[in-house]
Amino acid sequence: MRILIVEDEPDLLRSLAQALREEGYAVDTAQNGEDGLFSAESYDYDAIVLDVMLPRLDGWELLKRLRKTKKTPVLMLTARDQSRDRVKGLDTGADDYVVKPFDLPELFARLRALIRRSANRTTNVIEINDVKIDTAARNIFRAEKPVELTAREYSLVEFLALHRGEVVTRTQLYEHLFDENDSTLSNLLDVHVSNVRKKLGAGFITTRRGHGYCIE
């Protein structure tokens, strides 16, 4: 899953990006509203963490402009613990709101919930034949036995599972699994798919020649 963080406080931006990467997310960052809007409009992020008070373009205006073209889930951050600010953000198009300072586990949980709802899922657990995916704990079991996946392999499985039955193109997978700093070697995705098949079964991920990948 690929997340965009738009935050002008360098220390918070750095620590939040690092924490999300440690959770297995691909992360892009922006330190002002104009750069944040450009990135948000240029890529299909799974979620955006958006600060309210930003230079050049504040979070409310960024969100207002973004909502003209994108439905990306947005979690707003603010130091203002006032009802009218929360109402303004939600009415502008935010999906959720967190007041600084916040606990990282809560922020992660809210992000997972936003991503899950955007994929029309109502539960943390996805079951596909004998494979069980717990998106909250980020664990995968096959025939009730835990399966060890790398962070990138897990992200691949989770994204395809959330879009079960849909053919996902290679371009979509690159955009959702790799951030702007990642190398997009032509065979990198094939390696991850091959490794997942070895661990979860050869037929777990189906290749649609010329189109992409799918979990039936």
Domain end (from 69, 84, 118): 118
Please tell me whether residues 130 and 97 are part of one structural domain. no
Cβ atoms of 206 and 213 within 8 Å: the answer is yes
Please tell me whether residues 72 and 10 are part of one structural domain. yes
- Note the pLDDT of residue 184: 55
- Note the pLDDT of residue 36: 97
CA dihedral of residues 182, 188, 193, 196 (deg, nearest 10): -70
- CATH code where residue 190 lies: 1.10.10.10
Please tell me whether residues 57 and 32 are part of one structural domain. yes
Q: Where are the beta strands (DSSP E) in 136-193?
A: 139-142, 145-146
- Note the pLDDT of residue 93: 84
pLDDT tens profile 159-191 = 999 999 999 998 888 888 888 777 555 578 888
Please tell me whether residues 129 and 114 are part of one structural domain. no
- Note the pLDDT of residue 85: 72
- Note the pLDDT of residue 186: 57
- Note the pLDDT of residue 169: 92
Helix (H, G, I), strand (E, B) or coil at 197: helix
Helix (H, G, I), strand (E, B) or coil at 141: strand
Domain end (from 68, 90, 118): 118
Please tell me whether residues 47 and 112 are part of one structural domain. yes
Cβ atoms of 1 and 158 within 8 Å: the answer is yes
Domain residues for the domain of 36 are 2-118
- Note the pLDDT of residue 183: 59
Number of structural domains in the chain: 2
- Note the pLDDT of residue 39: 96
Please tell me whether residues 10 and 111 are part of one structural domain. yes
Please tell me whether residues 14 and 108 are part of one structural domain. yes
Please tell me whether residues 114 and 155 are part of one structural domain. no
Please tell me whether residues 92 and 134 are part of one structural domain. no
Please tell me whether residues 32 and 110 are part of one structural domain. yes
Domain end (from 94, 118, 142): 118
Please tell me whether residues 109 and 145 are part of one structural domain. no
- Note the pLDDT of residue 185: 54
- CATH code where residue 54 lies: 3.40.50.2300
Q: Which residues of the chain have pLDDT under 50?
A: none
